Amino acid sequence: MKMNKSFALSAFAALTLALSGCQGMISDKPGIHPNQNMDYQDKFKAQEYNPFFADGRAMRTPVEGTVARGGLRQDIAYYEGVDEQGNLIAENPLTITKELLYRGQDRYDIYCAVCHGGVGDGKGIIMTGQYGYVPAPNFHSDYIREQPDGHFYGAITNGIRSMPAYNTQIKVEDRWAIVAYIRALQKSQNINELEILEFNVDLAALRETYDQEQAKLAALEEAKAAAAQGGEISAALGQQVFTRNACGACHSIDGSALVGPSLQGLYGKTRNFEDGTTTTANDDYIYNSIINPMDQIVEGYLPQMVPYDYLPENEIRSLIEYIKTLE
């Protein structure tokens, strides 16, 4: 028995040494895989050819009329912002609560404020004229304030003009929360004195703060105007300003129709306005159209251009000189 035990131990040691000596040896034979673990399955992967079907596609289209779980959207007012006739709905379908407004503020600050500004005035951080973006509209203009809630929801969902769609980034409820917050911003910028007093607000302190802020803004404008005095005024600079501020996104220079009227042959031409008045497109008219575009709306166009009053004086004058060359 002792001899047999010793023989077994010796044989085991020899076998171990023999097997360890094979480690790392190159072989043309396939590796041993005793437990398949479903590694090899009789199946087709996405995009593979499948001879079973006439079209040869392994991936099949859904049965006509089926809807993915959670994808049934029968409430078109909630999901699309329109009624059964396709008209924009007037009011937010969600109940306006403090929680909804705070959620709207949170989403607005993330997705909207960079362009539309913290108070919705269209003066976000990237709307400074140096990035080539078409300036965002001011939510506090009469035209925008009179739009139904469905308009804002549709703009967020589908995009509008140069604004991209956010339907893949912002979920439906959050879009309506943003709409509610925009309405709150509009209300905050258009509240009258009697309504303010209802909330026991120190109106005198508010006026003092407002006056101080306006004084700072006035000083900045004066400094900007002083810095611009003596600056270059030329058609060449005007062309650069035109390109840098993406003016061509709305106004063509070859007579083609865009969102705004073409600038080709504008200078000296008679302008007809929506209110029935007319004027000649001279320096003063073009200057005012740049800094106060809502004053005179050209016939056949919507009142949607934002003011470019942040531009230095010499750049505005250069724009005018450039426009004069567009014959």
CA 228/CA 78 separation, integer angstroms: 50
Domain ranges, ordered by start, for the chain: 76-195, 235-324
* Percent with pLDDT over 70 in the chain: 89
CA 64/CA 130 separation, integer angstroms: 50
DSSP per-residue codes, 141-189 = SHHHHTS-HHHHHHHHHH-BTTBPP-TTTS-HHHHHHHHHHHHHHHHHH
Say whether pLDDT at 40 is over 90.
Answer: no
The larger pLDDT score, comparing residue 29 to residue 317, is at 317
Q: Does domain 235-324 have CATH number 2.40.10.340?
A: no
pLDDT score of 306:
78
The larger pLDDT score, comparing residue 247 to residue 227, is at 247
Assigned CATH topology for domain 76-195? Cytochrome Bc1 Complex; Chain D, domain 2 (1.10.760)
pTM check: above 0.85: no
Which range, 120-124, 154-158, 261-265, 279-283, is most confident? Answer: 154-158
Amino acid at 217: L
Say whether pLDDT at 131 is over 80.
Answer: no
Which range, 84-93, 227-236, 264-273, is most confident? Answer: 84-93
Element (H, E) at 278: strand 278-280
Dihedral angle sign, alpha carbons of residues 243, 245, 246, 252 = negative
Q: Which of 31-40, 96-105, 141-150 has the lowest mean pLDDT?
A: 31-40
Crossing angle of helices 172-189 and 98-111, rounded to 10° = 90
Q: Is 76-195's fold the same as 235-324's?
A: yes
Say whether pLDDT at 232 is over 90.
Answer: no
